[in-house]
């Protein structure tokens, strides 16, 4: 059974890897995965939030329902994998984040649950589009995802290079950060580089703003909280001998709470507008919320950890992992429904699966496919029980 399952999962995963599609374009991906789930006996409803869909299976008599999320989209990265037989066939696109593996693990869990029917209630597999850009979860919810397909809790997972293969890690509370983007536009008065007194220099103003933004975290955020403010682009319309009229500063902030998000935005606006006013320039600040923080619900963390311990050894499960500043669209689901997000080790220390995410040479580690499939199946079983006895 295990060998057969592994071979099937690898076949599914490599097919998906060869045929990547980016956010909201996952038409063939959805056709392929929905077809497998339909053949397994699941009731599939397509077209939720664009290319997203839900596959449901019921067993027993319980009215409880659990959601298991799989992300479908690839990245606009050209794969660099000489000799890789299952490399991407789509120019400029590849599964550089392992969503092909996440889908294959979910399909494996669906197969295990359909074959055994050893659960009481309804399992819903939520195949989500456009995770990479933080738009897919909101699109599915705007289409009535949780009203049409009610669930008591939702579970997700992500492979993690740098963690030993087949290990697990989660934690109660914030496990991944929000991502907010900002654009600061400075309108000043350009002039000849030899006559700076005739203008208002936006480069000087912009430089002061960049330096001041770095003090927000150290001087305004409570030291017990975590936050990052990064200026990533500094764009001008100047030339070698021209002081520009305009500067655009772009960047990214990360945090784990909505209070810190609000603080970062408020201080960013105050500082930017203050420096511009002091120098006689004009300023506009655009601040957008791209990803919600991923905050695990305390009541479901133990169940997820118990499920992982049933699949791996108890000492292979970290129940209080250090939070990461990366972001995940799953956080939007957790704002509406309680649940848990789990990391699954993809490989470490130069071994198979240790190439970083979003790298042109990355590949999902097929050796963890059955581990992930068994985890998703087990967490569904445990979560559907009214009381859970953890054997870890």
Q: Domain containing 331 — which CATH number?
A: 3.40.630.10
pLDDT, position 306: 96
Q: Is 351 marked as a binding-site residue?
A: no
Domain endpoint, select from 291, 313, 328: 291
Residues 227 and 191 in one domain: yes
Q: What is the pLDDT of residues 6-42, one digit of tens each?
A: 999 999 999 999 999 999 999 999 999 999 999 999 9
With respect to residue 115, please indicate whether it lies within any of the assigned structural domains.
yes
pLDDT tops 60 at residue 392: no
pLDDT of residue 386: 54
| CA gap 41, 21 in Å, rounded | 26
Question: Residue 38 in contact with residue 44, Cβ under 8 Å?
Answer: yes
Q: Are residues 183 and 157 in the same domain?
A: no
Number of domains in the chain: 2
Residue 287 placed within a domain = yes
Under 8 Å between Cβ of 374 and 179: no
Note whether 107 and 76 are same-domain residues: yes
Residues 166 and 26 reside in one and the same domain: yes
Residue 390, in any domain of the structure: no
Question: Considering the chain, what percentage of its residues have pLDDT values greater than 90?
Answer: 96
Task: Give the per-residue pLDDT at 283.
Answer: 98
- Say if residue 171 is in the same domain as residue 80: yes
**Per-residue pLDDT reduced to its tens digit, 307-318:** 999 999 889 999
241 with 192, same domain?
Answer: yes
Residue 392 located in a structural domain: no
Give the pLDDT score at 92: 98
For the residues 235-251, what does the mean pLDDT come to?
Answer: 98
Residue 41 belongs to what domain range? Answer: 2-176+293-383
276 among annotated binding-site residues:
no
pLDDT tens digits, 141-150: 999 999 999 9
The answer as to whether 341 is a domain residue is: yes
Residues 326, 349, single domain; the answer is yes
**283-334 pLDDT per residue, tens:** 999 999 999 999 999 999 999 999 999 999 889 999 999 999 999 999 999 9
Q: What is the DSSP string of 167-180?
A: -EE--SEEEE-EEE
Confidence at residue 314, expressed as pLDDT on a 0 to 100 scale: 84
Both structure tokens of 331? 């956080």
- Average pLDDT of the chain is 96
**What residues contact residue 82 under an 8 Å CB cut-off, 6+ apart?**
none
Closest among 131, 123, 122, 139 to 47, alpha carbons compared: 139
pLDDT band at 2 (very low <50, low <70, confident <90, very high): low
358 is in an annotated binding site: yes
Do 61 and 205 lie in one domain? The reply is no
pLDDT digits (tens, 9 = 90+) for 337-372: 999 999 999 999 999 999 999 999 999 999 999 999
Clarify whether residues 62 and 42 are in a common domain.
yes
29 and 94 fall within a common domain: yes
Tell me whether residue 204 is in a domain: yes
Query: In which band, very low, low, confident or very high, does the pLDDT at 3 lie, cut at 50, 70 and 90?
Result: low
> Which domain-ending residue is among 291, 314, 345?
291
* Average pLDDT estimate for 172-194: 97
114 found inside a domain: yes
Burial 201-212 (b: 16+ CB within 10 A, else e): bbebbbebbbeb
Q: Is 158 labelled a binding residue?
A: yes
Query: Is residue 51 domain-shared with residue 166, that is, in the same domain?
Result: yes
C-alpha 331/C-alpha 339 separation (Å) is 10
Kindly report the number of other CB atoms within 10 A of residue 158's CB atom.
Answer: 23
17 is in an annotated binding site: no
pLDDT given at position 162? 97
**Cβ-contact 109, 371 below 8 angstroms:** no
How many Å apart are CA 42 and CA 378, to the nearest integer? 18
Q: Is the pLDDT of residue 389 over 90?
A: no
Establish if 389 belongs to a structural domain. Answer: no
DSSP code string of 189-258: B-EETT-GGGSB-HHHHHHHHHHHHHHHHHHTS-TTS-EEEEEEEEEE--BTTEE-SEEEEEEEEEESSH
Same domain, 167 and 219: no
Q: Of 257, 291, 325, which one is at a domain's C-terminal end? A: 291
What is the average pLDDT across 177-203? Answer: 98
pLDDT of residue 387: 45
Stated pTM of the model = 0.92
**Per-residue pLDDT for 391 more than 90?**
no
Res. 1: pLDDT tops 70: no
Give just the sign of the alpha carbon dihedral 168, 15, 55, 27: positive
* Residue 335: pLDDT band with limits 50, 70, 90: very high
Q: Which residues contact 223 (CB under 8 A, 6 or more apart)?
A: none
Q: What is the CATH number of the domain that holds 268?
A: 3.30.70.360
Phi-psi region of 315 (alpha: psi -120 to 50; beta: other; left: phi over 0): alpha
């Amino acid at each position: 059974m295990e060998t057969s399952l592994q071979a099937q999962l690898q076949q599914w995963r490599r097919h998906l890897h060869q045929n990547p599609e980016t956010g909201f374009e996952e038409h063939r991906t959805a056709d392929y995965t929905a077809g497998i789930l339909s053949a397994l006996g699941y009731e599939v409803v397509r077209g939720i939030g664009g290319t997203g869909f839900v596959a449901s299976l019921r067993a027993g008599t319980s009215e409880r329902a659990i959601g298991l999320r799989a992300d479908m989209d690839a990245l606009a990265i050209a794969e660099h994998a000489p000799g890789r037989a299952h490399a991407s066939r789509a120019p400029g696109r590849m599964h550089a984040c392992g969503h092909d593996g996440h889908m294959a693990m979910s399909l494996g869990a669906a197969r295990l649950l359909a074959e055994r029917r050893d659960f009481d209630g309804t399992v819903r597999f939520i195949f989500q589009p456009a995770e990479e850009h933080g738009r897919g979860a909101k699109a599915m919810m705007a289409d009535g995802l949780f009203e049409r397909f009610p669930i008591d809790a939702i579970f997700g997972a992500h492979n993690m290079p740098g963690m030993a293969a087949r290990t697990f890690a989660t934690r109660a509370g914030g496990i991944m950060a929000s991502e907010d983007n900002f654009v600061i536009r400075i309108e000043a008065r350009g002039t000849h580089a030899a006559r700076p007194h005739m203008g208002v220099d936006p480069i000087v103003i912009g430089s002061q703003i960049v330096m001041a933004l770095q003090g927000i975290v150290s001087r305004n955020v409570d030291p017990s909280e975590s936050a990052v403010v990064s200026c990533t682009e500094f764009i001008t319309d100047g030339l070698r001998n021209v002081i520009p009229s305009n500067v655009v500063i772009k960047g990214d902030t990360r945090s784990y709470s909505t209070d810190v998000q609000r603080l970062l935005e408020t201080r960013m606006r105050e500082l930017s507008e203050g420096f511009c006013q002091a120098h006689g320039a004009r300023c506009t600040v655009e601040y957008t919320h791209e990803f919600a923080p991923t905050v695990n619900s305390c009541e479901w963390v133990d169940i997820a950890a118990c499920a992982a311990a049933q699949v791996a050894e108890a000492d292979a499960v970290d129940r209080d992992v250090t939070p990461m500043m990366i972001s995940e669209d799953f956080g939007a689901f957790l704002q509406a429904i309680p649940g848990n997000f789990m990391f699954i080790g993809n490989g470490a220390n130069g071994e198979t699966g240790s190439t970083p995410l979003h790298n042109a040479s990355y590949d999902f580690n097929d050796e963890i496919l059955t581990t992930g499939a068994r985890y998703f199946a087990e967490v569904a079983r445990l979560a559907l029980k009214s009381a859970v006895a953890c054997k870890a």
